[in-house]
Amino acid sequence: MNNLIKSIAIGVVTSMISFSAFADEKPYQVVDGAISANAVEGWKTYNGGGCGACHGKGGIGAVGPNLGQSVTQKLSKDEFVNIVANGKSGTMMRPHKTNKRVMDNMDNLYAYLLARGDDVLGPGNLIKMPLGK
Ligand code: HEC
């Protein structure tokens, strides 16, 4: 019985440690001006998906809110995914779940917007930035 409690306790502690390690890890990388490919793909998806029409260049905010701020200060990743996929009923934010490009690039989109919110990327064109890993 004691051993069972011990192993449960160890399991809980282990999962807490791995969770916090995961939470600290950024999904993008910018090292010496080189941006990871996933963020560039996210930027392309942001533009290709038409998000900028309402959320402004680089997500800076227009009719829709500033998305860099949304993902760094307000929404969890799950909430972000849910809103992008299902939209917000009664608002101009439409569902994108039938947009294959957006759905396939959800992680990349999130990585790009997180890098914007963290202020490691400007709102402009990324195509000329050197590619990291
Ligand atoms: C036709 C305009 C329009 C387009 C296109 C659009 N959005 Fe939105 N979006 C909005 C509006 C308006 C809101 C605010 C809804 C509300 O009132 O809560 C919003 C809200 C959001 C939110 C929630 C933000 C928050 O802080 O609560 C996210 C995330 C989001 N949009 C992501 C996207 C992404 C990613 C795309 C492109 C795939 C996109 N949107 C395309 C208009 C748009």
Which CATH number among 1.10.760.10, 3.40.50.2300, 1.10.10.60, 3.20.20.70 corresponds to the domain 26-117?
1.10.760.10
Cβ of 132 less than 6 Å from ligand 1: no
pLDDT of amino acid 34: 82
- 70 CA distance to ligand 1 middle (Å): 10
Average pLDDT in the 101-128 region?
92
Cβ of 50 less than 6 Å from ligand 1: yes
pLDDT of amino acid 124: 87
Cβ of 103 less than 6 Å from ligand 1: no
Give pLDDT tens digits for 72-110.
999 999 999 999 999 999 999 999 999 999 999 999 999
Give pLDDT tens digits for 1-60.
667 666 666 666 555 554 544 555 889 987 777 889 999 999 999 999 999 999 999 999
- The pTM (predicted TM-score) of the whole model is 0.84
pLDDT of amino acid 106: 98
Cβ of 39 less than 6 Å from ligand 1: no
- 133 CA distance to ligand 1 middle (Å): 30
pLDDT of amino acid 101: 98
Q: Which of 55, 63, 75, 102 to mutate to test the pocket of ligand 1 (most atoms within 8 A of CB)?
A: 55
The residues that bridge with 30 in the sheet, in sequence order, are: 35
Contact indicator for 59, 113 with CB cutoff of 8 Å: yes
d(CA 133, CA 119): 20
pLDDT of amino acid 110: 98
Q: % helix / strand / coil in the chain, to the nearest 5?
A: 60, 5, 40
